[in-house]
Structure 1
Amino acid sequence: MENSSSMKEFILLSLSENQGVQKTYFVVFLLFYMLTVAGNLLVLTVTSSQHLNSPMYFFLCHLSFVDICYSSVTAPQMISGFLVENNTISFAGCIGQLFGVHFFGCTEIFLLTAMAYDRYVAICRPLRYPALMSRRLCSRMVGVSWAGGFLHSTLQTLPIALLPFCGPNKVAHYFCDVHPLLHLACADTRAEGLAAVANSGVISLSCFLILVTSYVVILASLRGQTLAAWHKALSTCGSHIAVVILFFGPTTFVYIRPSSDLSKDRSAAVFYTLITPMLNPLIYTLRNGEVKGAVRKLCTRKVGSRNGKG
């Protein structure tokens, strides 16, 4: 039995084996990826401005950066794979991709959880909001999110990197992930599989329960309030709830159980690696007047500067 370092490369499967469908996917997912990067760069630029300096926009700025990195880990490799017969990736590249997917994915989970706490304080403790959500605390929460993502990804990646791989080398996924790689290892991987489910599953499920609990408390606190108060609270939380459902639904489906149907995992993974990062800027922009106003000012300023140069 050879060790893992002897496996020089893996072959990633496409979402379809039909050549015509692959060309269509190439155009569609290239457009999705371009929209993801452009949309999140726009939100990143707007939310980092001095006019939007509340904790919510501080978290949203980091979320947009994570979304760009998260989709960039998988999308370019997937898109280029639609144009070649064998979409190959080196062993080191595969392990790096595995690390990146879990690093940015877990960081996003923790950021969404931190944003839920921010919304809870804003609605349930409005008078103490400036004191409770200080810049120092927000920075610490973001730092913990990044550190937690790094720790989680290390614990997921290291056991996989140390497994022996002696063939075949076809990964039943469009990117390197835990379950598809465990299927290729030349060893008993039950312990690693259970550890992966426990690691990713517990994080996804526990954070999701925290999020649900926070919104139950928020709704309970609105009992007896006016219709205007309900509308304001729901408009404040609506964007975040939509993002949470889009991201946590597919993620929990893939990682909460030992995977037996990798084709379903591939379909679900498209949502949390590309669709959700693409929709996040639209969701937050369309439901947020301050962000829309800042975007209009930014566009007006750029048009004005171009006309001035002309």
Structure 2
Amino acid sequence: LDGLPPLDGPVAGLLGATILLGGVSWLDDVHQWPPVLKLAAQFAAAILVVATGPYPHGVLSPIMGDVPGAVLGGVLSVLGLVYLTNAVNFMDGLNGLISGAVMLACLVLGGLMLGGPTPGGPMLGGPMLGGMALILAAALAGFLPFNFPAGRIFMGDVGSQSCGLLIGAFGLACAAGQPAGAAWSAVPLMLAGVLYDVTYTLVRRWRRGARLMESHREHLYQLATTGGLSPVAVTLVQWGFVLWGGGIALLVTRGRLAAVTAMGLVLLPQLGWTWLVR
């Protein structure tokens, strides 16, 4: 290791958080721990990421405007990381869906973090976090042929939760580089298909009075396959959502498109997808 640059705080914190979450996920697979323990590990990992790395001190929202304060920014960042970690985990039920989606999103995020300054300010996270995003994309590219279209190996909770935490951390690093810009929207735009499916399903089950902690097969991507669409087609649709959101994210971070307009552009395909599979 002589001659290699030392790990900075954000990278060391992210690696430690990923090891923590992956280790607990593996032990949970072995011992079948109660869900609350897994949730506690997710919060601990998210807190470690936020405490050691760059995160938005002012959280931008199209509804709330600029919400200042390091504490509030940190709390919202932790909650966002935990939600994204679970969303990625929930959607890992179809060959290649999550591995391909996260791979494509990491390629875009890596380019953003290594691509130099933008109209809203520099895309931060630094070259090390940008490089980590591209390394994760490369790792998933090597994994994908064994997971899609036929699944011979699978991510499991260890892989899917770690991917959710990592891509969320990369997104926070981008957002920290543009405290007055719209880089906060990059990950939500690219993973709109994942976030919409999970949120829509949770709300629908909550309104029906279903137990939210129970396993089920009511996600939109699952309804699509049971309704007759091939698993390969559904996976490709989800990849298309990521590419569509990635193109929009590039326009937003370069000041060519407002974040609110961008959110509408990624929501429209989700509404069409909902109509199709329901």
After TM superposition, the score normalised by the length of structure 1 is: 0.27
* Larger RCO (CA within 8 A; separation ≥ 6): 1
Larger Rg belongs to: 1
The structure with more helix, counted as a fraction of residues: 1
After TM superposition, the score normalised by the length of structure 2 is: 0.29
